[in-house]
A and B are shown apart, each in its own frame.
Chain A
Amino acid sequence: EVQLVESGGGLAQPGRSLRLSCAASGFSFHDYAMHWVRHSPGKGLEWVSSISWNSRSILYADSVKGRFTITRDNAKNALYLQMDSLRAEDTAFYHCAKDDYRFLEPWGWFDPWGQGTLVTVSS
């Protein structure tokens, strides 16, 4: 069974950092692109960042560009999101999701998704 489990969320003050992790199992992690998507009540789903299977192609939403860094460790079947200079508007549940392709393709889709980890940015 394909499984994605996020961790690393918590409470952080504005301007501080958090590092999220996503542990993958049940599939050949190194063969697929991966994504981070966040959800906060009243704001809906917001795509955050994507990374290709070999880390050579990476995309960020404008709202996090320059502050967040997506990485992956295929040997550890793990996806990461380093979140720096956090803002109140970054408060959300963060989900990792598996793509159906190796590369960041326009015709890909997110399946499955992890349950998410809650990030709260507040002083």
Chain B
Amino acid sequence: QSVLTQPPSASGTPGQRVTISCSGSSFNIGGFAVNWYQHLPGMAPKLLIYTNNNRPSGVSDRFSGSKSDTSASLAISGLQSADEAEYYCAGWDGSPVFGGGTKLTVL
């Protein structure tokens, strides 16, 4: 069990906006930054959001991140079939830590 809690699954239809939550504590999210990664099957995981709400160059502006107190969220707008993947929040709790992952299904 990870110290960062994510829902195991999420879903949406094309064009819809979906949010994925990541819940932690004052020892991790509450004190440090949150990053988000996308993992497509058979591919290398990819950095989506760093330091709570920053997008690396090349990442679509359909992806956005936010953080408040001990929770963080990843929002995906204009959902596309290509967004079907596993999404992980990550942070620091004395060492790097990942959330359990959320499998996003595009219906």
Task: Say whether B86 contacts A44, CB under 8 Å.
Answer: yes
B44 touches A112 (CB 8 A): yes
The docked-state distance in angstroms from the alpha carbon of A45 to that of B31 is 22
Chain B: which residue is nearest A35 at the CB level? B96
Taking a contact as CB atoms under 8 Å apart, the answer to whether A110 and B35 are in contact is: yes
How many chain A residues touch B (CB < 8 A): the figure is 24
Report B23 CB to chain A, min CB distance, Å: 16
**Known contacts A45-B39, A45-B88; A109/B47 CB under 8 A:** yes
Instruction: Flag if A107 contacts B32 (CB, 8 Å).
Output: yes
Q: Counting CB contacts under 8 A, is A111 at the interface?
A: yes
In the complex, B62 has a CB within 8 A of chain A: no
Which residue of chain A lies nearest to B98 when distances are taken between CB atoms in the complex? A45
Residues of A within 8 A of B (CB): 35, 37, 39, 44-47, 50, 59, 61, 95, 97, 100, 104, 106-107, 109-116
Known: A47-B97, A109-B47. 15 other contacts (CB 8 A): A37-B45, A44-B2, A44-B98, A44-B100, A45-B98, A47-B95, A50-B96, A95-B45, A104-B95, A106-B92, A109-B51, A110-B37, A110-B45, A113-B46, A116-B44
